[in-house]
Amino acid sequence: MDKLHLEIVTPARVVLEKDVDSVVAPGSEGEFGVLSGHVSFLSGIVPGELRYTAGSEKEVLSVTAGFAEVFKNKVAILVDAAERVTEIDAERAKKAMERAKERLSRDRSDKEIDFARAEAALRRAVARLKVVQKAL
């Protein structure tokens, strides 16, 4: 089977550049999978887990919002942040999740709280913790 070339890029660094067999990513319209020969397309990426396989190796990363482009057996994932399991501080993610939940539990008329930002922080923290749980 032909390989896909996967690139995961953030503004700070190239997180991964590798030939893989398959990619599953959290798209804005739902999770999508890509195999060799897939039709070209663009998709938004939402906070969640990105999985790939390369032979017998299986890896899971946490990603935040961004975009994905599939074109000629290349998958480019451009996101604000991406972390491997070994890079995730689970305790910090738990604290971020609790802070976000606390903010979201307040009265929606409270002008001191940016609820959209709190919801985004909650989604990022949940994605990180989900990736850590899968690694256990």
**Binning pLDDT at 50, 70 and 90, where does residue 41 land?**
very high
Q: What's the mean per-residue pLDDT of the chain?
A: 92
Mean pLDDT of all residues in 79-90? 92
Contacts 24+ apart (CB under 8 A), 121-126: 121/96, 122/97, 123/46, 123/47, 123/48, 124/47, 124/62, 124/64, 124/81, 124/96, 125/93, 125/94, 125/96, 125/97, 125/100, 126/47, 126/97
Which pLDDT belongs to residue 113? 77
pLDDT band at 117 (very low <50, low <70, confident <90, very high): confident
Q: How confident is the model over 43-58, as pLDDT tens digits?
A: 999 999 999 999 999 9
> Considering the entire predicted model, what is its pTM?
0.84
Which pLDDT score is estimated for 1? 64
DSSP codes, 66-84: EEEEEETTEEEEEES-EEE
In the chain, what are the domain boundaries? 4-84, 88-135
| CATH 3.30.2130.10 for the 88-135 domain, yes or no | no
Task: Give the CATH class of 4-84.
Answer: mainly beta
The stretch 84-103 carries a mean pLDDT of 91
pLDDT at 69: 97
Instruction: Indicate the burial class of 129 (C-beta count within 10 angstroms; 0-12, 13-18, 19 or more).
Output: middle
Average pLDDT over residues 119-133: 89
